Amino acid sequence: MDDLSAVVFDTAERLLGALHHGAGRWEDMTSAGQGRGWATIEEAGLPLALTAEEHGGLGLPLADGLELVQIAGRSPVPWPVVETMLANRFAAEDGRTLHEGPVTALGLLTADQRAFAALARAKQMAGALDAILSMTVAHVQERSQFGRPLAGFQAVQHQLAVLGGEVAAGRAAADHAIARIAEGATGDAATLPIGVARVRVGEAASRAAAIAHQLHGAIGYTREHRLHRYTTALWAWRDQFGTQTYWSRAVGRLVLARDAGDLWPMVTAA
Amino acid sequence: MSVLAFPAPVSRPQDEALRSEVRAFLSQALAGRTSLEKAESWNGFDRDFSRALGAKGWLGMTWPRAYGGHERTAFERYVVVEETLAAGAPVAAHWIADRQSGPTLLRYGSEAQKRAILPRIAAGECTFCIGMSEPDAGSDLAATRTRAERQADGSWRVNGTKLWTTYAHEADFMILFCRTSGTPADRHRGTSQLLVDMRATPGLTVRPIADLMGQHHFNEVHFEDAVIPADALLGTEGAGWAQVMGELAFERSGPERFLSSIQLLIELIAALRGSESDAAQAAVGRLFAHLVTLRHMSRGVAALLERGEDAAVHAAIVKDLGASFEQDLPDIARSLVDAEPDLASTDAFAAVLAYTTMAAPAFSLRGGTREILRGIIARQLGLR
Ligand SMILES: Cc1cc2nc3c(=O)[nH]c(=O)nc-3n(C[C@H](O)[C@H](O)[C@H](O)COP(=O)(O)OP(=O)(O)OC[C@H]3O[C@@H](n4cnc5c(N)ncnc54)[C@H](O)[C@@H]3O)c2cc1C
């Protein structure tokens, strides 16, 4: 991580954290509030995090740009931060001018762009998973039943241990794919790790959301509580830019195209 | 929550050069082994194979040269271990010694113990067993009752029973976890580790226990007024608990925690090769994703260990996720391929499916049960 990245991470974490907590019910937000929020996001340069310097972007190393995507995943806000990051990257790649203002729909993408967007979603999901874990840990420590905090019950502890394992695995899978792409993997050599990341993080999302809702009880099922910002997003994201089934089949097809004896070499090369 | 972040492994050209060398060696050394024999990798006991690995310099790899080691990196060792297991090599004759008893000796052993034993382990000549579990002390190891009493001449008199001791019947040595003062009510206070010579200890008997397949791997080990010399104390008297916890971290950290079923995955892929079935492709893709992710996390544990950092929780996460992956495999395999599982079958898939189905319950027991591991993870999350 270089120095610029460290500054940007720090700013993004504070900025998005504040916007996330200040946003209240998204549907109640005034258009003035909408405008002010986006202006601060733009001022911090976040929409340009995945765009190269020569195209007017921040010029961060790829892994650092995607670290910002994870930070965005941890603090969901009513503006399409990650979509705009991706739209600007693709516009620059295609020689188009960068976007002014937020972009909600990415339009037609090439296969490589779609795969890259899928990878970014995986990292964004890792951020949301991280947030779900902290929220759930905090909740079971605060909430008491039967005269003690929920955290004191072994059944609850074990559910959180499972949640923790899923969060760790989803994040490790995304980071591994990013390292491969940063090294310059293309074609099947890119499809494999990106597919692995999407399949693993998608499964983590399903399990984590289920456990987080269970341990939050009824309060977590309300519109009022912010848990749904994460879980509804995860349920949608796990099937965007290629559904989980699409990616697992893509990986499976590559594996089954080769001899069984090639399995282990494929694993060590993936 | 940074505790759940696994560091990226460092991939170095020297590791990959070693990998090719190991693969070439294994394809020779294991030619002619059946799929079923490969599936039994963990339990395969073959002193010749272990000696051959030792001769290659692939045991005791990270230890100092003065003790027969090769002063190589944790990653180089990792390469050898994962390649050996992925190839289905018989590892039981060196496995426990190389993985945990040797490192424990290196850390706590006296100079004489280290000089006498470590070079033999590194040569693949010396087999160890783990004397932790007892009839009333499984998950609750601190309840251990086996007692060693100091005699007037400084030697120890040991009474008690160890249980589930894998390969005690072949082992040259046991590292015995026992009580040297106080009572089980004192929990981990007053426990110690002794280095027991399995070949020359009067009062020691080993009785076989058959596993559910009828195979003999583990044992009951009885100590009846067994006499163990004074210089057999390992480390510090009374510090047994801390030492044994360190040993368990070695036991839980490696690639063995998700590779136990890999032969079944290989047979599954052979059976489905080129399949156009959606379900088959999706299932194989999912299994592959799990395997790659587990390996990546496990190499992250190796990176932590190489930096000298505490990896106990990371290791617990990998072991918990790994055991679930290994245990899910048989059911997924049987849902995709129509074959009757049968140990005696000449069809490799059917035989390996039968074996792995019967081996699987042990995956989340040996080396710490699923519940114990989840307790460790929960503690790290601040819940206990
Ligand atoms: C194949 C195999 C090889 C082995 N080899 C060795 C060996 O070489 N040396 C050796 O010393 N041991 C060995 N073991 C023993 C192994 O370490 C123990 O089986 C294990 O520690 C569990 O102890 P137990 O069998 O007494 O089960 P118990 O401790 O009786 O546990 C039974 C069940 O209760 C659960 N449980 C126990 N306590 C709690 C708790 N506090 N909270 C929630 N759940 C709990 C456990 O998780 C488990 O599911 C081996 C076991 C197997 C299966």
Instruction: Give the mean pLDDT of A61-70.
Output: 96
Q: In this structure, which residue's CA is closest to atom 42 in ligand 1?
A: B371
Distance from CA of B381 to the nearest CA of A (A): 7
Residue B1, pLDDT > 50, answer no
Q: Which residues of A touch B87 (CB under 8 A)?
A: 264
Q: Which residues of B touch A252 (CB under 8 A)?
A: 280-286, 288
The pLDDT of residue A24 is 81
Q: Which residues of B touch A154 (CB under 8 A)?
A: 375
Instruction: Give the mean pLDDT of A153-165.
Output: 98
Q: Which residues of A touch B5 (CB under 8 A)?
A: 168, 171
Which segment of A149-158, B23-32, B33-42, B178-187 scores lowest on mean pLDDT?
B178-187
Q: Which of B293, B313, B320 to mutate to test the interface with A (most CBs of A within 10 A)?
A: B293
Distance from CA of B85 to the nearest CA of A (A): 10
User: Which pLDDT band, with edges at 50, 70 and 90, does B3 fall under?
Assistant: low
| Domain residue ranges of chain B, discontinuous segments joined by + | 13-126, 129-239, 252-381
- The fold for domain B252-381 equals Butyryl-CoA Dehydrogenase, subunit A; domain 3 (1.20.140)
| Domain residue ranges of chain A, discontinuous segments joined by + | 3-94, 111-269
Which atom of ligand 1 is nearest to B135's Cα?
26
A173/B296 touch (CB, cutoff 8 Å), yes or no: yes
Strand partners, B210: B216
Q: How far apart are CA A229 and CA A132, in angstroms?
A: 10
Q: How far apart are CA B66 and CA B68, in angstroms?
A: 6
Provide the ipTM: 0.94
CA of B274 to the centre of ligand 1 (A): 41
Q: What is the pLDDT of residues B185-239, one digit of tens each?
A: 888 889 999 999 999 999 999 999 999 999 999 999 999 999 999 999 999 999 9
Q: What is the pLDDT of residues B245-277, one digit of tens each?
A: 888 887 887 898 999 999 999 999 999 999 999
A161/B320 touch (CB, cutoff 8 Å), yes or no: yes
Question: With contact defined as beta carbons under 8 Å apart, do B380 and A133 qualify?
Answer: no
The binding-site residues of ligand 1, defined as CB within 6 angstroms of any ligand atom, are A 154; B 129-130, 132-133, 138-139, 164-166, 218, 362, 365-366, 369, 371-372
Chain A CB within 8 Å of residue B272 CB: yes
Report field, pTM of the whole predicted structure over 0.90: yes
Strand partners, B226: B158
Mean pLDDT, all residues of chain B: 95
The pLDDT of residue A141 is 97
The pLDDT of residue A261 is 96
Question: With contact defined as beta carbons under 8 Å apart, do A119 and A142 qualify?
Answer: no
The pLDDT of residue A237 is 98
DSSP-derived letter for residue A158 is H
Which residues 82-111 on chain B approach chain A with CB closer than 8 angstroms?
Answer: 82, 86-87
Structure tokens at B232: 């057999």
User: Which pLDDT band, with edges at 50, 70 and 90, does A40 fall under?
Assistant: very high
Of A35, A34, A72, the C-alpha closest to A50 is A72
CA of B139 to the centre of ligand 1 (A): 5
Residue A212, pLDDT > 80, answer yes
Which segment of A51-65, A127-141, B297-311 scores lowest on mean pLDDT?
B297-311
Which atom of ligand 1 is nearest to B133's Cα?
11
Instruction: Give the mean pLDDT of A228-253.
Output: 97
Q: How far apart are CA B44 and CA B136, in angstroms?
A: 29
The pLDDT of residue B231 is 95
User: Which pLDDT band, with edges at 50, 70 and 90, does A101 fall under?
Assistant: very high
Determine the residue of chain A that is closest to B291 in CA distance.
A267
For B176, the 3-state DSSP assignment is strand
Structure tokens at B295: 């390996």
Contacts made by residues B270-274, CB under 8 angstroms, sequence distance 24+: B270/A259, B270/A260, B270/B348, B270/B349, B271/B336, B271/B337, B271/B339, B271/B349, B272/A256, B272/B336, B272/B337, B273/A256, B273/A259, B273/A260, B274/A256, B274/A257
CATH number for the segment(s) B129-239: 2.40.110.10
Q: How many CA atoms lie within 13 A of B212 on its CB side?
A: 9
- Smallest Cβ–Cβ distance between A255 and the set B6, B285, B383 belongs to B285
The pLDDT of residue A169 is 98
DSSP character string of B317-336? HHHHHHHHHHHHHHHHHHHH
The pLDDT of residue A5 is 85
Of B241, B227, B92, B285, the C-alpha closest to B171 is B92
Distance from CA of A100 to the nearest CA of B (A): 35
Which atom of ligand 1 is nearest to B141's Cα?
21
The pLDDT of residue A99 is 94
A164/B373 touch (CB, cutoff 8 Å), yes or no: no
CA of B169 to the centre of ligand 1 (A): 20
Ramachandran area for residue B352 (φ above 0: left; ψ -120 to 50: alpha; else beta): alpha
The residue behind tokens 């015995």 is: B176
Give the torsion sign (CA, B242, B65, B98, B320): positive
A141/B1 touch (CB, cutoff 8 Å), yes or no: no
A252/B384 touch (CB, cutoff 8 Å), yes or no: no
Question: With contact defined as beta carbons under 8 Å apart, do B177 and B240 qualify?
Answer: yes
Distance from CA of A99 to the nearest CA of B (A): 34
Chain A CB within 8 Å of residue B283 CB: yes
Residue B101, pLDDT > 90, answer yes
Distance from CA of A10 to the nearest CA of B (A): 15
pLDDT, greater one: A184 or A1: A184
Chain A CB within 8 Å of residue B81 CB: no
Q: How far apart are CA A26 and CA A22, in angstroms?
A: 10
Which residues 147-186 on chain B approach chain A with CB closer than 8 angstroms?
Answer: none
- Smallest Cβ–Cβ distance between B4 and the set A157, A168, A195 belongs to A168
Structure tokens at A159: 């559910």
Task: Check B82, B251, B256, B326 and give the catalytic one.
Answer: B251
Provide, rounded to the nearest whole percent, the portion of chain B with pLDDT above 70. Answer: 99
Q: How far apart are CA B325 and CA B358, in angstroms?
A: 15
Active site residue B251: yes
Residue B141, pLDDT > 80, answer yes
The pLDDT of residue B249 is 80
DSSP-derived letter for residue B101 is I
B286/A203 touch (CB, cutoff 8 Å), yes or no: yes
pLDDT, greater one: B312 or B10: B312
Q: What Cα–Cα distance (Å) separates residue B84 from each residue in B15, B118, B250, B375?
A: 14, 21, 18, 31
How much helix, strand and coil, in percent to the nearest 5, is found in chain B?
50, 15, 35
Buried b (16+ CB within 10 A) or exposed e, B57-89: bbbbbbbeeebbbbebbbbbbbbbbbbbbbbbb
The CATH architecture of the domain made up of B13-126 is Orthogonal Bundle (1.10)
Q: In this structure, which residue's CA is closest to atom 7 in ligand 1?
A: B165
Mean pLDDT, all residues of chain A: 95
- Candidate of B134, B369, B373, B384 to mutate for ligand 1, largest count of ligand atoms within 8 Å of Cβ: B369
Q: How far apart are CA B113 and CA A250, in angstroms?
A: 54
Of B271, B264, B304, B303, the C-alpha closest to B287 is B264
DSSP character string of A96-107? PPPPSS------
CATH match of A111-269 with 1.20.140.10? yes
> H or E element: which one contains B207?
strand B204-210
Q: Which residues of A touch B296 (CB under 8 A)?
A: 172-173, 175-176
- Candidate of A153, A154, A156, A157 to mutate for ligand 1, largest count of ligand atoms within 8 Å of Cβ: A154
Instruction: Give the mean pLDDT of B97-104.
Output: 96
Q: What is the pLDDT of residues B57-84, one digit of tens each?
A: 999 999 999 999 999 998 999 999 999 9
Structure tokens at B170: 């072949």
